[in-house]
Amino acid sequence: MRLARVAHSEGVSFVALEPDPAAPGEKVLAVEIDQHPFGQPTFTGRKWPMADVRLLAPILPTKVLCVGKNYAEHAREMGGEPPENPLLFMKPSTAVVGPNVPIKSPVSSERVDFEGELAVVIGQPCKDVPEARGTEVLLGYTIANDVTARDQQWADGQWTRAKGYDTFCPLGPWIDTEVDPGDLGLRTELDGELKQESRTSLLIHDVAALVSYVSRVMTLLPGDVLLTGTPSGVGPMEPGQKVSVSIDGLGTLTNPVQQRE
């Protein structure tokens, strides 16, 4: 199932995205979910053609955990070897935006980079999850862009400021509950030019290992998001450009870049 959050003429709803029986294979309907999408969702009966809704960030997390240097080639391009344990950091939930929302580049930074990543969404409250059950606690998978003010990342040492600006965590376009995360192709394009290309099979710590590791530190709550790390090829974006992160089976997350006033 594909789960999304949409703005429609009467408000905002979680929806399942389903083929339109009138034109299956061509058109998609947004089918409203009652309240929230966790567990076995129930449906209200309301539905809208996709043309009549706007996709929002598919979830509003209580926390966003991220992992640094989780692809060996990226660790090397950052000037080091990958650490033995997953290297955790956080982005504030206020950084989350949906597809097509502008990434706002702050005047305080001279270099704002894209980092395309596979993201997982937690489906139930959990802690101390055994690695063998790491994917069982998930609602599903989506795409993230771990936008980073690279100059401030190096200047501060701690990465919270560099990665915490409003709009610096695009998520979407939806959550897929069924994809196998083991070996998905990931591509990042800037104005149509290929910048990052890798596969999730190259993750040093895979999804199950990451979920288990983080859950041994902190309780994870439904809707919490874990970004699994970016492959090599990161680079700067300029206002006026458009960045797209695509993952096999998960679609494409596209955001324009603007200068923040």
User: Min. distance of Cβ 65 from a second copy in angstroms?
Assistant: 8
259 near a second copy, rule: CB under 8 A? no
Contact present, 15 and 28 (Cβ < 8 Å): no
Alpha carbon distance 34, 28 (integer Å): 19
Query: How many Cβ atoms sit within 10 Å of the Cβ of residue 30?
Result: 26
Q: Which amino acid is at 180?
A: D
> Cα separation of 105 and 113, whole Å?
10
**In angstroms, what CA-CA distances link 86 with 124, 189, 221, 226?**
22, 26, 20, 12
Mark residues 99-118: x for contact with a second copy by CB under 8 A, - for none: -------x-x----------
The stretch near a second copy (CB under 8 A) out of 3-11, 45-53, 85-93, 241-249 is 85-93
Does 88 contact a second copy by CB under 8 A?
yes
Q: Which of 5, 229, 232, 22 is nearest to 97 (CA)?
A: 5
Q: Which of 52, 185, 216, 240 binds a second copy (CB under 8 A)?
A: 216
- Beta strand pairing call for 235-237 and 112-114: antiparallel
Among 36, 76, 127, 133, binds a second copy (CB under 8 A): 127
**Site map 156..185 versus a second copy, x via CB under 8 A:** xxxxxx--xxx-------------------
Residues between 18 and 77 with contacts to a second copy, criterion CB under 8 A = 62-63, 65, 68
9 interacts with a second copy by CB under 8 A: no
Residues at the site binding a second copy, with contacts judged by CB under 8 A? 62-63, 65, 68, 83, 85, 87-90, 92-95, 106, 108, 127, 155-161, 164-166, 216-221
